[in-house]
Amino acid sequence: MWQKYKDIDGDSSVEAYKVDLTARNIIVRFSNGKCREYLYEERKIGEQHYKNMINYAELGDGLGSYIQNYVRNGYSSKG
């Protein structure tokens, strides 16, 4: 189920996210750009990055910056 990203600072292009704990992935939806949804899988980005992304997503702050700085090209698919 998609969750609206809180964006508590009002400065993020992250719009929503969806976590699948069974498949161990997170999909991030951005409000800009041609490709708006990016799938990040734990097996590709590693357990710590996966957990950090979930934490930032639930916090509603810092997810876009985290992606930019640590897992930018670590997505498995985009669309």
Provide the pLDDT confidence category of residue 3 given band limits of 50, 70 and 90. very high
- The 10s digit of each residue's pLDDT in 38-68 is 999 999 999 999 999 999 999 999 999 999 9
Q: Which domain holds residue 51?
A: 3-78
pLDDT of residue 73: 96
Between 2 and 34, where is the model more confident? Answer: 2
- Give me the number of domains the chain comprises: 1
Residue count (the chain) = 79
pLDDT of residue 32: 85
For the chain, list the strands marked E by DSSP.
Answer: 3-4, 14-20, 25-30, 37-41, 77-78
Question: What type of residue sits at position 13?
Answer: S
In the chain, the N- to C-terminal Cα span, in Å, equals 17
pTM: 0.94
pLDDT of residue 1: 93
18 near 25, Cβ under 8 Å? Answer: no
